[in-house]
Amino acid sequence: MEDWVISFTLTADYYINTVPLPFTFTNTSAGFLASFITVFAIVFFTVSLSLKLSNLMEMALKLYGAAMSTCTSRVLTCLHEKEADFEFISVNLFAGEHKEPPFLAKNPFGQIPVLEDGDLTLFESRAISAYVAEKFKESGYDLIRYQNVKEGAQVKVWMEVESQQYHPAISPIVFQFFVAPLQGKSPEQAIIDENLEKLGKVLDIYEDKLSRAKYLAGDFYSLADLFHLSYTYYFMKTPWANQINDRPHVKAWWEDISSRPAFLKVASAMNFGEKQN
Ligand code: GS8
């Protein structure tokens, strides 16, 4: 007889004689079968529990960033939409932690956020979010339309629009309004005006698109919409929020996407500029 059969039979025999069963059998073979099933269930349960625990320990994602930062909040929103488990490690930008060797080893550009997934280290918030959306495609909200190639392609188009058209216009305005004063500089109105004009043109195209579809990539919320949240959230606290509010479809879209529970969790910590003197 094979070794494993002998060893399994002995183990089963041990349990049959020692583990009390909630029932008794007069028929010995029925008793043996019931004990065998009980032992099998105990072994199966123990093995699967320890596999699951070690899996969970291995799989825990680590996100390095700052809760109030736009790029970190982009990834955080994505993680919440996907209901992913992760550990958040706060990086102190004011102390320059992101320019120290341990952090530079994770992102040589010395910027947050960074995501670690086991031996994989990623930076760039949009790439990290796309990874999270793909890795957890079957859990939480589907942000990438992974079951429909054409819809998925539209999501990619509008993700590019956000990064190539929207972000270059909105980010200098947010920077001038919130960051420049913290650096002891006055906001440069010429930069703000130039970018408000650029942003207006982009938003005219959004207004048209959103009059024909509920969201940017189609009639479904996606990673493309999500990418807009962080900067628009801060932009809405500037005196130029009318750029969004004066365009009815853009306004409705903004109210919709910014009230999703995943973003509300993140937005409550986005208080950049508010705690400063
Ligand atoms: C930009 C990262 C970035 O600007 C991304 O991840 O999307 N394209 C990159 N990070 C900022 C905080 S964003 O609010 C940062 O780390 N700033 C500190 C610095 O540049 O020194």
pLDDT tens for 105-127 read: 999 999 999 999 999 999 999 99
195: exposed, middle or buried (C-beta count within 10 Å: 0-12, 13-18, 19+)?
buried
pLDDT above 90: percentage of residues in the chain: 75
> Which of 71, 75, 106, 123 to mutate to test ligand 1, by most ligand atoms within 8 A of the CB atom?
71
Q: Does 26 have pLDDT greater than 80?
A: no
Statement: residue 170 has pLDDT above 80: yes
| Residue-level pLDDT at 51 | 56
The contacts of residue 107 (CB under 8 Å, 6+ apart) are: 98, 114, 121, 123
Give the pLDDT mean for 80-85.
Answer: 98
**Which atom of ligand 1 is found nearest the CA of 93?**
18
Single pTM value for the model: 0.81
**What is the rounded average pLDDT of the residues 162-179?**
98
93 and 272 in contact (C-beta within 8 Å)?
A: no
Total residue count of the chain as it appears in this document = 277
165 alpha carbon to ligand 1 midpoint, in Å?
Answer: 18
What lies within 8 Å, CB to CB, of 251 at 6+ separation is 244, 245
